[in-house]
Structure 1
Amino acid sequence: MNSNGKFFERIPNSIIFLFIIIVFFLKTVVYVFIKLQSSGIVLGGGSDASYYHGYVQGYTNLAVNIWPVMLRYLNDIGLYSREGVSYFLFLLSLVFIPFITARLTGLSFKKNQKYYLYIILLCSVYPALFFYSFDIYRDVFMVSVFLLGCLSAKRALDSRNFLYSIFYFIISIAIGMLLLELRAYLGYAFLLSLFLWKITFTKRRIIFLGALYLIVLFIANYIGVFESLTEYRAGFEENSGGSTLGLDFSNPALFIPNFILSFLGQMLGLYVTNPLALVLLLVETLPFFLMLLYVMKNIKLADSFVRFLIIFFVLYASVWLVGNDNLGTAVRLRMYNYLAIYISFFYILRLKIQSVEAHRL
């Protein structure tokens, strides 16, 4: 894939659009068929939906996050239905998430039709988003909230009007607080990124910051900052049924090698244990990895919004790569990292195209 994105030029727009229609149609047919069969697809954390429904029904009063509280509130006002919420989540994954992701890239359907269609297709074929819309899991809702937060942050960072920028910055903080209640470290990473976006990147600085990052992680682990995460991670070994990497973070000297292995196994999905993991590697991880390389190669083009996304990527991954050792759960957790890179890739690609066109004039 070269810097001009000529790889994407090989397929006619009409073919890409046809693929999108086919994917939308097949996903709808499969979803309806499985729902009619009263079955579901589980990809890690299969008891979540049943727990949430049990909370709504009053079988338990222990809320581990705000999602079951929201569902119970809907039930209290007569608007809750397990199937209804599931269908709503499916619509979010089918329509809302692909199109808001495309919007975040700054691509225009009229001016950048091919790339616009590609990002829609990429989100449409993203397996995890589809799998977790079959029941009342919180994942699709959280991704939607995260993308709304990114949109608000983008407007705050792009605006030259001070009052307009402050308005959207406050909205971004409010959305970050909601993410905090949905998943604490997701919210923390989002909120911290709002205040760290001024960190600039160059290829040389990336190497320096990468080395500094690993040193900081090592020191943080050595002084016990990650102690609760490593203890939580240890619990996966007992309940995983063989779905863990089996990395032991208790030895400080091996923290960095284990962290790198965790990145390779969980973020890049290189620990392939079954055919489904291979499918995810090809459909999810391969595009992500190629786009990550492109973003790093063209890091000098990163503006305030892309820097926000990259900083979020690092902060968020730093927590879950240490705290999680379940490969199925990793598929859920990494969605935000993948989407951040998807957006950054097409965003930078658009900037490069605009730069080339400006030089031609």
Structure 2
Amino acid sequence: MRISNHFLFFLCVSIFFIKIVFYYLFSQGFFSTTFGGGSDADYYNDYAKGFYDNAVNVWPILLRFLNDFNFYSRSYVSLFLFFLNLVIIPLLVIKLCDLKFKNNQKEFLILYLLILLYPTLYFYSLDVFRDVFMVFVFLLGIYFVKKSINKSSLSILNLYFVLACLMGVLMMNLRPYLGYAFFLSFLFINFRFTTQRIFLILLLYFSILFIMNYLGMLSTLTDYRSGFEDISGGSTLGLDFSNPISFIPNLILSILGQFFGLYFTNSLAVVLFFIETLPVALMLFYAVKNINYSDMFVRFLIVFFVLYGSVWLIGNDNLGTAVRLRIYNYLVIYICFFYILRTKYLSSKSF
């Protein structure tokens, strides 16, 4: 059954306004963000107002900077983040996929709909969490990477590369390993992926991680993960990474449980699996199958996907936190899927 563009447009508009209504109800106190880590927003707000002096990242420092000049308001910052989630972030992702409403209307609307339906991203736009701002900075960073790759003029290339690096530095100050993964991805930007190489690359990838863990090079991550053992309530996978022999099987279980969401602790986990994870899993399969259509930009995204994902899949054991951490991996898959889909279509028309 083919879905018409008019129906997709109707869905986008409907969900767009439904999200506005829910945001208004939340702002009037009908809902709370205490579920899923609301204390983060409380801490950021208190730091902005001067009640704390220990900044865990640059986000509360930015909020206090606004407060020092009497520009800070929890409701206004939340509204700004909500606007980023509702309008700017979807359009940035669409722009990164080279989709235009006039020429790629169906793909444009489907991608916009997918981001509108992304519940985790929406939840963290309801208060002064750092997540939506980080997503915005990350998307700007890869936008500048894409521009620096595509431009032939040396001066323009340098300008966009500098802007990309500035976004990377900001990412490092928001979440260090997000920024490190972003910068390290430049080192492998010329590495060519093919369908035939993919299994060899996966084998090499797991072998390198096994050796690094055996030599103790991942001890910072595994030690941090062990700190989740005291968390109760079924929110952890309970995987022990201390034994080098079981490292790879446990890593695979961590990928299945945290990235693919196959560890169902409650009804919400089931909902997130069907809304967030299942579309991503299908798009990931398509992207891998058609990896031959990747270019330098897609290769950058794939390397980032692996580097960033490796860190949190090894270091994190909390399922609630995993939903936040995987946002960047999921958005990368969105971009790769629709970018490759468009590239493949244009390639078929050229013959």
TM-score (norm 2): 0.98
Matches within 5 A, 1:1-361: 10-37=2-29, 39-42=31-34, 44-359=36-351
1:249-308 Cα shifts (integer Å, max 9, x gaps): 011111000000000000000001111111100000000000000000000100011001
Match for 1:22: what amino acid? S
- The residue matched to 1:135 in structure 2 has which SS? coil
* CA-CA distance at 1:38 after TM superposition: 5.6
Match for 2:31: what amino acid? S
Match for 2:122: what amino acid? F
- In structure 2, how many angstroms separate the alpha carbons of the residues matched to 1:198 and 1:346? 21
* CA-CA distance at 1:226 after TM superposition: 1.5
Contact 2:234 2:265 in 1 (8 A): no
Contact 1:24 1:94 in 2 (8 A): yes
- The residue matched to 2:169 in structure 1 has which SS? helix
* CA-CA distance at 1:162 after TM superposition: 2.0
- In structure 1, how many angstroms separate the alpha carbons of the residues matched to 2:198 and 2:300? 15
Contact 1:309 1:340 in 2 (8 A): yes
- In structure 2, how many angstroms separate the alpha carbons of the residues matched to 1:41 and 1:33? 12
Give the aligned length.
Answer: 351
Q: Percent identity?
A: 54
* CA-CA distance at 1:179 after TM superposition: 0.2
Deviating more after overlay: 146-155 vs 234-243: 234-243
| Counterpart in the other structure of 1:4 | none
1:132-191 Cα shifts (integer Å, max 9, x gaps): 011111000000110011110000111122221121111111110100000000000011
- In structure 2, how many angstroms separate the alpha carbons of the residues matched to 1:40 and 1:220? 43
Contact 2:258 2:323 in 1 (8 A): yes
- In structure 2, how many angstroms separate the alpha carbons of the residues matched to 1:198 and 1:233? 33
Gaps of 5+ in 2: none
Runs of at least 4 residues off by over 6 Å: none
RMSD of aligned residue pairs (Cα, Å):
1.1
- In structure 1, how many angstroms separate the alpha carbons of the residues matched to 2:316 and 2:208? 19
Match for 1:318: what amino acid? S
Inter-CA distance 239–46: structure 2 relative to 1 (3 Å threshold): farther
The structure showing larger relative contact order (alpha-carbon pairs under 8 Å, at least 6 residues apart) is 1
Inter-CA distance 52–128: structure 2 relative to 1 (3 Å threshold): same
Match for 2:161: what amino acid? F
Deviating more after overlay: 36-45 vs 293-302: 36-45
* CA-CA distance at 1:41 after TM superposition: 3.0
